[in-house]
Structure 1
Amino acid sequence: MRWIEWLHRWLGGSIGLLLALIGLSGAILVHRDAWTMVAHKQDAVDRDAVHIAARVAQAMADPARRPEGIVFASPGFAVDRLTFSGGAGAYTDQTGRTLARWDSQWQRPELWLFDFHRHLFSGDRGETFVGIAGLAGIVFVATGTLLWWRTRRSFAFRLLPKRHSHPAFLRHHRDLGIVVAPLLLLSCVTGTVLVFRPLASILLGPGATAAMRQAAAPPKVDKMALAAKLDWAAMIRAAHDRFPDADIRVLNLPRGGSGLITLRMKQSDEWLPNGRTTIWFAADSGRIVDVRDATRLPAQVRAFGLLFPLHSAAVGGLAFRIVMTISGLALALLGSLAVWSFWFLRRTPRRPAPRPQTA
Structure 2
Amino acid sequence: MKLLSLLHRWTGGLVGLLLAIIGLSGTALLWEDSWILLDGANDAPVSSAAELGDAIEVAIETAPGLSRITFAGDEIGLHQAIYADGGGAYIAQDGTVVDRWAGPWGRPELWLFDLHHHLLAGEIGKTITGVLGILLLAFAITGTILWWRTRKTFRFRLWPARYTTSAIVRQHRDLGVVASPFLILIAVTGTLMVFPAISSVLLSPIAEPDAKPTLPEGLAPADRNTDWRRVMVNAQSAYPSAAARRLMIPREVGQPIAIRFRQDFEWTPNGRSYVWIAPDTAEIIATDDPAKGDRASAVVEKFYPLHAAKVGGLAWRIALTFAGFALIVLGLLASWSFWTAKIGSRPATVLRAKEATR
Task: Compute the TM-score of the two structures, normalised by the length of structure 1.
Answer: 0.90
Is 1:291 aligned with 2:291? no
Q: Give the distance between the partners of 1:205 and 1:49, measured in 2 at CA.
A: 38
Q: Give the distance between the partners of 1:223 and 1:184, measured in 2 at CA.
A: 47
Going from structure 1 to structure 2, the CA distance change for 1:2 and 1:84 (only over 3 Å counts) comes to: same
2:251 matched residue in structure 1: 255
Per-residue deviation, 1:296 = 1.4
2:67 matched residue in structure 1: 68
Task: Give yes or no for contact 2:234–2:282 (8 Å, CA) kept in 1.
Answer: no
Going from structure 1 to structure 2, the CA distance change for 1:206 and 1:279 (only over 3 Å counts) comes to: same
Match for 1:222 among 197, 217, 220?
217
Q: Give the distance between the partners of 1:336 and 1:322, measured in 2 at CA.
A: 21
Q: Give the distance between the partners of 2:297 and 2:291, measured in 1 at CA.
A: 10
Q: Give the distance between the partners of 2:131 and 2:40, measured in 1 at CA.
A: 39
Going from structure 1 to structure 2, the CA distance change for 1:233 and 1:320 (only over 3 Å counts) comes to: same
Deviations 1:260-292 (A, max 9, x none): 210000011110000000001234543221111
Is 1:31 aligned with 2:27? no
Aligned-CA RMSD value: 2.1
Task: Give yes or no for contact 2:235–2:277 (8 Å, CA) kept in 1.
Answer: no
1:52 matched residue in structure 2: 52
1:192 matched residue in structure 2: 191
Q: Give the distance between the partners of 2:291 and 2:281, measured in 1 at CA.
A: 28
Task: Give yes or no for contact 2:27–2:325 (8 Å, CA) kept in 1.
Answer: yes
1:158 matched residue in structure 2: 157
Task: Give yes or no for contact 1:254–1:283 (8 Å, CA) kept in 2.
Answer: no
Task: Compute the TM-score of the two structures, normalised by the length of structure 2.
Answer: 0.90
Is 1:234 aligned with 2:230? yes
Gapped regions of structure 1 (runs ≥ 5): 350-359
Q: Give the distance between the partners of 1:294 and 1:48, measured in 2 at CA.
A: 23
The number of aligned residues is: 343
Q: Give the distance between the partners of 2:102 and 2:59, measured in 1 at CA.
A: 17
- SS of equivalent to 1:7: helix
Match for 2:302 among 284, 303, 306?
306
Structure 1 counterpart of 2:260, which letter? R
- SS of equivalent to 2:85: helix
Per-residue deviation, 1:54 = 2.9
Q: Give the distance between the partners of 1:179 and 1:200, measured in 2 at CA.
A: 27
1:271 matched residue in structure 2: 267
Per-residue deviation, 1:195 = 0.3
Task: Give yes or no for contact 1:201–1:207 (8 Å, CA) kept in 2.
Answer: no
Per-residue deviation, 1:142 = 1.1
1:2 matched residue in structure 2: 2
> What fraction of aligned residue pairs are identical, expressed as a percent?
41
Q: Give the distance between the partners of 2:55 and 2:173, measured in 1 at CA.
A: 54
Q: Give the distance between the partners of 2:318 and 2:147, measured in 1 at CA.
A: 26
Per-residue deviation, 1:295 = 1.4
